[in-house]
Structure 1
Amino acid sequence: KMFACEHEGVTPDILVLGKGMTGGYLPLSATITTEEIYGAFLGEYEEFKTFYHGHSYAGNPIACAAARGSLEAFRNNDTLEALKEKVAYFEEELKEFEGLPHVGNVRSKGLMAGIELVVDKESKDPYAPETAVGWKVAEHAMEDEVLLRPLGNVVVLMPPLGIPMDDLKKLVRVTYESIRRATEGKPHNGNP
């Protein structure tokens, strides 16, 4: 499925698209609406029905060219079909994280996951902000040439949809090991 709303069986009146259109290389977004919403903004100039919306980077021709190339690659590489194997692997491997003593919750949809780090698995007590445990996980991962994005006590995984399977496997292994090292004080075992 192309959009998160499709997984939930929801059809929004307004859908905003962003980073993925250019493969994350340049800022570009789009706003898509139902015909009914679109029609509400049609009219003569003096009716002032214009949907006044835009950004300083809207319609940038370089970003539009990047989006076109990205969308062509998405279609030509049959990205949605290729994702099935990757998502199945990703979801299965994420179950292993639940066995770590300082992982309170693992949630995912497609190739996007959030791994919550907690002081105590039973009580789900969070780490104090000053521990910066998420950043410690990210620092350990950088030692193995993997960039992670912690949001407080949650390690977010959002690999590109076109990620090669070997790189996805490395991402999962390094993230697991980095969480273990940051939360259990384990030494580094070398590159996975």
Structure 2
Amino acid sequence: MVEASSKIVKPDGKPVTDLEKQIANALADLESNSDVKAQLRELFIVGVKEIEHSNKKSIIVYVPVPQLKQFQKIQVRLVRELEKKLGGKHVLFVARRRILPKPQRGAKRFVEKQKRPRSRTLTAVHEAMLNDIVFPAEIVGKRTRVKMDGKKQIKIHLDKTSQTNVEHKVDTFTFVYKQLTGKDVSFEFPEPLF
């Protein structure tokens, strides 16, 4: 029997919440009695967050960035099983990424040991987060519309072939992305040009 405590590793020794225990138990159950046992053996999560919107609940499961690819190989099956166990709540897997602050100029300047990598910038982290959220679907285009009052509306074009799989989750994607980044997005499935 796989222990649920091995399925969650919290940074800095923070205490594990009840929701995180529940997800870790579900992952341990899946590992002990399913055909994804080999892939799940090495994987663990680093946090869970529940978001409620318009009387629906969504669960964001945070995973380490190096393990994201392995999670995505079995994500469709994992999401299906976790949604069954959690009573129909939408489950999303997102990598836990760190944003480093922009280097200061002038008198406040702090000498850095190395240049900030592109993967740690705000823009790169938000784009990667968007890719994680819509994962089974693929982003094929993006349009940013700046309104007269300065607000930005981002239109994300998703692959038409995955419309049947993710169309029912589009509202969840929009709300979760708004909660995580503060940016307004809308999703479309445009007809391919060729």
Shorter-normalised TM range: under 0.3
Higher strand residue share: 2
Q: Larger Cα Rg: Structure 1 or Structure 2?
A: 1
TM-score computed with the length of structure 2 as normaliser? 0.23
TM-score computed with the length of structure 1 as normaliser? 0.23
